[in-house]
Amino acid sequence: MSPNASTTPANTTPVRAMLVLGTRPEAIKLAPVARAMAASPHFQPLVVTTGQHREMLQQMLELLQVEAKFELDVMRERQELAKLTARLVEGLGEVVHAERPDLVIVQGDTTSALTGALAAFYEHIPVAHVEAGLRTGVLDNPFPEELNRRLIGRIARWHFAPTPRAAGHLTAEGVPAAEVFVTGNTVIDNLLWVLGQGAGRDHFRTDLRRVLVTLHRRENQGDKMRAMGKALRRLADRGDVEIVLPLHKSPAVREALLPELSDHPGIRIVEPLGYLDFSATLAGCDLVLTDSGGIQEEAPTLGKPALVLRTTTERPEAVEAGAAQLVGTEPQVILDAAMRLLDDEEAYRSMAKAGNPFGDGHATDRILAQLAEDFGVDAAAAPAPRPLAVPRPKGPGAYSTA
């Protein structure tokens, strides 16, 4: 698809790129791409927000210096996935049809990402997938993200994989190698940008051992999450630990965790933190317990050991590098793993110094360079992005605790 620069005139018309985002993680990971495109004469970013995490997005986009051109309003309380998907396909389809961008960029594995790719496909617009190739190998875990990213992998023209392993998943599934590009993860680009701004407030208040916890996964909700809440309470009973838990807006998450944790003096439950405050709090913690995906990528950059409270992970690179541990959802296992890291200095130091297998802060440069080449943009004056170097795995990793 790339034109031959020696025979093809350079394209001087800016490439109109529609970036679809609806959740906080999508905003975080597409923000550096949107900022770089807005600053370049070769690209015109058209940011569309779907409203999937509407309350979390509005202020954050302003802080991240990203301007949304289109805003959809599709969310309904406790909305079923089928209805959300239908609303998003219809709404995004109308925007894509009216704007006719040169490409649509989606990120990750949310319903917004899947429906953005579908809307583009229906209008014969090529799709670029940022953070492509993540897999657990279990179709319904995480649900529905594993299916979403596999489906996007069948639609996309550009697959921007964060790691060689992710790229290998794609080629093993039949994606042409010429369409797969290892870039690192844009979440690292944005984290380093934010910390460089010097903004954000650390929400820890003491000099005790600082533990940052995030829980929200659909497959963990209900009895599993209530049991994990009990484990967190027992961890706080040590007396030398301060736990900060930014509580997800999901009613199911709040119903599971608040009865277990709200009255413990060692546990601070706060409303969802803005990205700047969350980054500062992550930088200030000693240990992370999470069922999130993105934090598994951010924590190693800052030398923060991460315990992953899931039975599967699509980011085994962090486990293999020794920066994260997949501990599952059993309360006693979670408690034992956290206690070990808090009490065993050697074990803690080993994880903290493992390094980050997910990138070096230059993923955005690589993405824009590839798109510029494929659209025939004259970007010869821009420096070529340096090759990606990632830490070598220390041992065998695993997708699952099973």
pLDDT, tens digit (0-9, with 9 covering 90-100), for 133-167: 999 899 998 899 999 999 999 999 999 999 999 99
pLDDT score of 57 more than 80: no
pLDDT score of 362 more than 70: yes
Instruction: Give the confidence band of 393 by pLDDT, cuts at 50, 70, 90.
Output: very low
8 Å CB contact between 261 and 184: no
Kindly give, in sequence order, each residue whose CB lies less than 8 Å from that of residue 117, ignoring residues fewer than 6 positions away: 104, 106, 127, 129, 151, 152, 155, 156
Mean pLDDT of the region 283-300:
93
* Cα–Cα distance, 164 to 167 (Å, whole number): 5
Share of the chain above pLDDT 90, in %: 77
| Neighbour order of strands in the sheet with 127-130 | 68-71, 43-49, 15-21, 103-107, 127-130, 158-161, 180-182
pLDDT score of 49 more than 70: yes
Given phi > 0 = left and psi -120 to 50 = alpha, else beta, which region is 377? beta
Q: What is the mean pLDDT of the chain?
A: 90
Residue 303's CB is within 10 A of a number of other CB atoms, namely 15
8 Å CB contact between 358 and 187: yes
* Cα–Cα distance, 88 to 144 (Å, whole number): 15
Instruction: Give the confidence band of 275 by pLDDT, cuts at 50, 70, 90.
Output: confident
Residue positions annotated with a catalytic role: 109, 131, 145, 216, 218, 248
Q: What is the pLDDT of residue 122?
A: 98
* Cα–Cα distance, 366 to 373 (Å, whole number): 11
Mean pLDDT of the region 103-128:
97
Mean pLDDT of the region 49-76:
82
Q: What is the pLDDT of residue 138?
A: 92
Q: What is the pLDDT of residue 294?
A: 82
Residue 159's CB is within 10 A of a number of other CB atoms, namely 27
8 Å CB contact between 357 and 320: yes
Higher pLDDT: 275 or 18? It is 18
Give DSSP secondary structure letters for 112-135. Answer: HHHHHHHHHHHTT--EEEET----
8 Å CB contact between 348 and 172: no
pLDDT score of 369 more than 70: yes
Mean pLDDT of the region 163-173:
95
Q: What is the pLDDT of residue 380?
A: 53
Q: Tell me: the pLDDT tens digits for 342-360?
A: 999 999 999 999 999 999 9
pLDDT score of 382 more than 80: no
E strand or H helix at 20, and its extent? strand 15-21
Kindly give, in sequence order, each residue whose CB lies less than 8 Å from that of residue 205, ignoring residues fewer than 6 positions away: 242, 268
Residue 336's CB is within 10 A of a number of other CB atoms, namely 12
Mean pLDDT of the region 213-221:
93
Q: What is the pLDDT of residue 224?
A: 95
